Each structure stands twice: as structure tokens, then as C-alpha cells.
Amino acid sequence: MALDSKEYTRLSKVLTEIILQAYGKNPEVYDDLEEQVIGAFVFGAHRAFSVAQGMQEWQSKMAMYEILLDEFGFEPEMAGNALDFFCDCLEPGFNGPLNIVIHCGDSGYGLLNDPEELGRQIKEIVYIMGDKLRTGA
């Protein structure tokens, strides 16, 4: 049986909180890199959750918008822009590195019951992405 909208949104936020806690840092103090990488990871994990729950794409987008507002503390316009950006990143040619992070989030959805491993993988992704930006690789 499909979740009702309210329960789906609640569980979407719980999923996000598990990921944020696994990373171990308050989103209010994320730097730009962390905001993009963690946001893309959550977006991917949330998409996997949405598919598993049989939710429509528009429902997934609405819940993700609420996540960006409530869990990441984005202003409404910034949340809308970030959601559009993450959706654009689904196209491999748009932003290859964040496309990969979104797919890592999709795979990482399976680690929600192992927060230690989930946190380790997220920290590794942030480190690798930061290193790529610093070296221009």
C-alpha cells in the first residue's frame, strides 16, 4: 500500500536526518562544497526512496523541496533553484561529478541502517569532490 502524502513527507525528512547525522555536521555550517555534495547525495537517496515507495515524480520533487527548506535551511527561492539544479544534474553531460554523487546517494539509500558506513562513504565523497576541485581534475 502506498504511503499517504503526509507520511511520505515525514519519512522523507527522517531519511534526510539519518544522512545528515551520519555525516556528523550541522547543515547550517556546511561550506559550499558540502552543501552541493550532501544535497546531491540526499537528492539521490530520496529519489531511490521515492521509487521504492511508488511515488510520482512530482511528489518526490515536492518532498525534496520541503527537505531543502526544512532540513538544509534554504530560503524558498534558493530551494527551488537547488532542486532545479539537482534535476539538471541527472543529465550526465550537465555536471558529471554531481551526477555521480546523485547516483552514489541512490546506492547509499541502502546504507540507512548502517549510519557508520553511510557516514564514512559520504565523508569520502566530500573529500574526493573537494580534492578534484582543488586540483582541477
SS3 (DSSP) at 105: helix
**Domain housing 15:** 5-135
Residue ranges for the chain with pLDDT beneath 70: 1-2, 132-137
Condensed to tens digits (0 to 9), the pLDDT of residues 25-63 reads 999 899 999 999 999 999 999 999 999 999 999 999 999
Q: Write down the H helix ranges in the chain.
A: 5-23, 32-52, 57-70, 76-88, 96-108, 115-135
| Per-residue confidence (pLDDT) for residue 134, from 0 to 100 | 63
φ and ψ of 24, to 5 deg = 90, 20
Supply the pTM of this predicted model.
0.93
| Per-residue confidence (pLDDT) for residue 131, from 0 to 100 | 78
| Per-residue confidence (pLDDT) for residue 2, from 0 to 100 | 65
Split into its structural domains, the chain has a count of 1
